[in-house]
Amino acid sequence: MEITLFSPLDMHLHLREGDMLKAITLPSINDFASAVVMPNLRDPVDTLEKVQTYRKQIESLVSEHAFEPLMTVFFRSFSRQELIALKSHIFAVKLYPAGVTTQSEKGISDFSAIEPTLEILQELKIPLLVHGETNGFVLDREKEFLPMVERMAQNFKDLRIVMEHISTRDSLRVLERYENIFATVTVQHLLFTLDDLAGGLLQPHLFCKPIVKRPADRQALLDAVLAGHPKIMFGSDSAPHPLDKKEAPGCAAGCFTAPIALPVLAELFERHEAMSRLQDFISGHAQTIHGLEPLPKPVRLKKEPYKVPQTFGSVVPLLAGHTLSWRVSSRGD
């Protein structure tokens, strides 16, 4: 059995910087026509010059592949002139609450001060991507942040807001209430719960933020995705860290999933007899929501055993050593 997926899109991808950027970019983008690249580097990508520099670094590594990076800029108080200059160089602006995840220390602490920038984003039709968590109790952080998402949606009805990597039933309810709110969902939040992470021996390569949640949350997300919810897109939130940062005290948050995402999703959708919905989840919905016209890139998958490598360079992927029932057989680069 074989399937062909056309122009897969990863709507949330971390490519890091320096040696990590060089090591994981090709494995991360091989199966995708385009990806939304996150800006939370050690020195956040928050100016036009930084966006252009980062894009050039990425393009130098992918020049022989059919792939387009969709750049983002780290949210701060921007002037209208700055955002006008940025508009043709970025896909979206990414908002991080301060300290909620990797290299987000320069994120937003005072949410009363963000509205002038949101007004300009709305005017210029630049999407806002949101890592929606507080610094509260870990299982409640996403739920606690939802009133802020609702406030933004209510006050800026023409601003396209994407709740990134949603992990709870509560986020799905908010998604239904507002026409201008959309969402991405990861592989790990469709497959796993907190019990998989910490119910036995701790599984550091499954540790991410937002943390995987309760079985009812996973089931709600799975039901929505398999039903073809038109406001939900695939975003891997693939977030590599070197082995000494994952299998260590103070384990870093992030699952490295981009190189294995399509075989994992094919297996999941086939198991639930929903293979006809996979194309929209990994490309169609994002094209419709954002008006994207991605590069033509057919990716063919074959139902054959595929053993996930133990490492990609210095990075251990999610499900390392596990055998999946699907593999990527060819790519239309």
Q: Which residues are catalytic?
A: 237
Q: Are 208 and 254 in contact (CB under 8 A)?
A: yes
Largest Cα separation within the chain, whole Å, is 54
* DSSP code for 198: H
CA torsion through residues 16, 20, 25, 27, sign: negative
CA angle 241, 226, 278 (to 5 degrees): 70
Phi and psi, residue 175, nearest 5° = -55, -35
Beta-bridge partner residues of 300:
4, 330
Q: How many CB atoms lie within 10 A of CB 228?
A: 16
Neighbours of 116 (CB within 10 A): 12
| Residue 95: strand pairing partners | 130
Cα(160)–Cα(126) distance, integer angstroms: 7
State the sign of the Cα–Cα–Cα–Cα dihedral 68, 231, 98, 149.
Answer: positive
Q: Tell me if residue 69 falls in helix, strand or coil.
A: strand
